[in-house]
Amino acid sequence: MKVLVINCGSSSLKYQLIDSETEQVLAKGLCERIGIDGRLTHRPTGKDKVEIEAPMPNHTEAVSLVLKHLTDPEVGVIGSLEEIGAVGHRIVHGGEKFASSTVLTDEVIAEIEKVSDLAPLHNPANLIGIRACMELMPGVPMVGVFDTAFHQTMPEVAYLYGLPYEYYEKYGVRRYGFHGTSHSFVSKRVAEILGKDVKELKTIVCHLGNGASICAVCGGKSVDTSMGFTPLEGLVMGTRSGDLDPAILEYVAGKENLTLAQIETVLNKKSGVAGVSGVSSDFRDLGKAAEEGNHRAAVAVDMFAYRVAKYVGAYAAAMNGVDVIAFTAGIGENDISMRAKILSYLGFLGVKLDAEKNNIRGEERVISTEDSTVLAMVVPTNEELAICRETVALV
Ligand code: ADP
């Protein structure tokens, strides 16, 4: 079956058409600036990429343009839309309602709408993408795959905050966690690579990208994760602050004459390694600046590694042990020195890095020494493939 995977944001839409039997990507691409002017980048496998400026007043137009390119005699990869057997949609927030992927029906969509309050920037955009696809591909089964679903197995001790309990009861204030599709994919892949049953493994997955989170996966289940009520908690990220003393908010708001909403924007968009360094959110830029003697860039990089190491230590405690520490996403897969920096804190757990094996980017590999009692691995994530698999399993 050919599965169209859609990841819809407020002004962008990423897509991949995947053949679920061979798991090959037939085409992928990106619509940007939807509702502003519109730009499409379409990459059909084995053919030249197409980059065009095209008006996209709304998401339905964007999906329509994608479908036109997928079926185009020259740059397309399928003969007609009938070849698309199902559509898998990435949905950011499933609240407590969705602990697994779900076939999208009118009732399910209404439930997703209800939890949109928890992800006001993301869920409405996801829903717009779903409705656009339903309009243009009537009758094609659609599946929603939630970023939060994998973490619904967390125990109360991990998901409750130390706040009045009524905030949880009345408003759903709790840890939800994100990147669940990636944490699930990587932890399963770790077991496959090692030829073990996922139920026997305690794995800590470090999803280190622009947005970054860590997950403790015990016997195949998420038992704790560093992102919380929103993706702002946890690690120091590209532009997000991660954990901080909440009293800072009012203090800085007073000093800088900012509203709480403005402070939240600062925490999301102007903080993290970008805010500390004043250089960039991109670790390649930070590495270069640090090499050239920029102290703040060097500190930002070190802070990132330190926070990751602290979380790994905490999650080893949460699971009473750890078998595998797995690195994934942009930084986890590619930043050789960052992996070394993080693991340099963790010798006490029994992990020993093999510097030569660590010298890779974007490949699946065990990077710890033969005699390391805890394995360190690089396992590239593939959220689109995970969404494709979930979709096929449900339709
Ligand atoms: P997201 O999906 O959250 O936008 P990614 O997983 O694509 O993020 O990761 C993007 C980040 O990965 C970049 O900001 C950059 O810091 C980092 N990155 C990518 N390639 C490299 C590399 N070769 N060396 C160091 N960092 C890299």
pLDDT of res. 113 = 94
CA nearest ligand 1 atom 7, residue: 330
Phi, psi of 318 (to 5 degrees): -60, -35
Domain boundary at 146, 162, 186, which?
A: 146
Residue 128 and residue 245 share a domain? no
**What confidence score (pLDDT) does residue 192 get?**
98
Token pair 């994608």 is found at: 66
**Per-residue confidence (pLDDT) for residue 71, from 0 to 100:** 97
Together in a domain, 230 and 318: yes
pTM of the model as a whole: 0.95
Q: Are residues 245 and 365 in the same domain?
A: yes
Domain harbouring 311, CATH code: 3.30.420.40
* CA distance linking residue 341 with residue 311, whole number of Å: 14
Options 72, 147, 302, 323, the catalytic residue = 147
Do 222 and 361 lie in one domain? The reply is yes
pLDDT score recorded for residue 120: 85
Distances from the Cα of 143 to the Cαs of 2, 63, 89, 228, 394, in angstroms?
14, 16, 6, 25, 7
CA 329 to centroid of ligand 1, rounded, Å: 7
What residues does ligand 1 touch, defined as CB less than 6 Å away?
209-211, 238, 281-284, 329-331, 334-335, 361
Asked, for residue 173, whether it belongs to a domain, the answer is no
Q: Which residues of the chain have pLDDT under 70?
A: none
Check: CB of residue 151 under 8 Å from CB of residue 177.
Answer: yes
How many domains, in total, are found in the chain? 2
CA of 183 to the centre of ligand 1 (A): 17
Whether residues 117 and 245 fall in one domain: no
- From ligand 1's centre to the CA of 112, what distance in Å? 30
Residues 204 and 329 placed together within one structural domain of the fold: yes
Output the pLDDT for position 288: 97
Residue 37 a catalytic site member: no
